């Protein structure tokens, strides 16, 4: 069983390009359903991809992911954020793997509102990697993000691993995520852009968010490198949200996401 799990983990790392630090999946079901476009979310989960996109007064999120439907491997995260005046601060934790191979990161992030329609955010991560029978490794990573709004348009861009963090001389991925969204109507939003991990091709992405009812939303998306379709839904009860998403894969079974959020 151990050799089987290690083989699966190696397949994941070889077949798929890494996103951000470690093997990072979308930090919430909604973001996953939107093909990784966080500017249409606004919850504390955004700190993992662009800290400038945290927009809620208070947000608490938790997410569970089953990569490629493998029950033996999981990705979990939790994030909290709170706004004081024009400044929002947040804390987050990520965990990927199992007792044989494990990746963890601890995140502290903040953003500040400048003028009336601009935000600047920054984040710092402590990364920890442990493989059974091998010594643990750790590293630090610095991230920065920008968000701007103009009428019905929103623009965001972020740069991950500005400090060129490494794990035992093995460079961590560096990444730029740039998107623009448009409000078609009060309940319909579309967004498009790209993710560019240095030394890898551009991954072009599109996402659609639609709320036909006050308490229900539906999302879909697509991205290249590799070609994947995403879809999901959200149901709201008071300030609580339950979200589910699925992401296809060219070679393996779909990845499933489920999230619970509280925000206002």
Task: Choose between 129 and 177: higher pLDDT.
Answer: 177
Percentage of residues of the chain with pLDDT beyond 90? 67
pLDDT one-digit tens code per residue, 214-226: 899 999 999 998 8
CA 241 from centroid of its chain's CA atoms: 17
Distance CA 127, CA 122 (A): 16
Lowest mean pLDDT among 22-26, 54-58, 128-132, 168-172: 22-26
Lowest mean pLDDT among 69-73, 84-88, 121-125, 218-222: 69-73
> Quick check: pTM over 0.75?
yes
Q: Which fold has domain 2-263?
A: Porin (2.40.160)
pLDDT one-digit tens code per residue, 23-77: 468 999 999 999 999 999 999 999 999 999 999 999 999 999 988 888 778 899 9
Sorting pLDDT into bands at 50, 70 and 90, what band is 189? very high
CA angle 154, 160, 161 (to 5 degrees): 160
- Residue 24's pLDDT is what? 64
Task: Choose between 250 and 236: higher pLDDT.
Answer: 236
The per-residue DSSP string of 68-121 comes to: GG-TT-EEEEEEEEEEETTEEEEEEEEEEE-SSEEEEEEEEEEEEEETTTEEEE
Q: By the 8 A CB rule, do 263 and 56 touch?
A: yes
């Amino acid at each position: 069983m151990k050799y089987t799990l290690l083989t699966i983990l190696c397949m994941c790392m070889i077949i798929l390009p890494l996103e951000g630090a470690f093997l990072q999946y979308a930090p919430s079901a909604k973001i996953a359903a939107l093909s990784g476009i966080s500017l249409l979310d606004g919850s504390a989960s955004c700190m993992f991809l662009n800290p400038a996109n945290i927009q809620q007064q208070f947000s608490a999120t938790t997410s569970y992911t089953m990569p490629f439907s493998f029950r033996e491997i999981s990705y979990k995260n939790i994030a909290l954020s709170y706004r004081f005046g024009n400044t929002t601060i947040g804390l987050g934790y990520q965990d990927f793997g199992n007792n044989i191979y494990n990746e963890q990161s601890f995140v502290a992030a903040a953003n500040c509102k400048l003028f009336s329609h601009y935000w600047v955010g920054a984040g710092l991560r402590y990364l920890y990697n442990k493989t059974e029978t091998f010594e643990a490794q750790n590293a630090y990573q610095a991230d920065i993000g920008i968000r701007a709004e103009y009428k019905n348009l929103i623009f965001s861009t972020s740069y991950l691993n500005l400090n060129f963090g490494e794990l035992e001389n093995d460079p961590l991925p560096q990444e730029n995520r740039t998107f623009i969204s448009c409000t078609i109507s009060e309940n319909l939003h579309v967004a498009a852009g790209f993710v560019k991990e240095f030394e890898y091709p551009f991954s072009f992405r599109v996402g659609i968010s639609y709320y036909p009812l006050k308490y229900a939303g539906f999302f879909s998306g697509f991205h290249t490198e590799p070609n994947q379709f995403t879809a999901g839904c959200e149901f709201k009860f008071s300030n609580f949200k339950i979200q589910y998403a699925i992401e296809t894969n060219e070679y393996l079974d779909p990845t499933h996401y489920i999230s619970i959020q509280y925000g206002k």
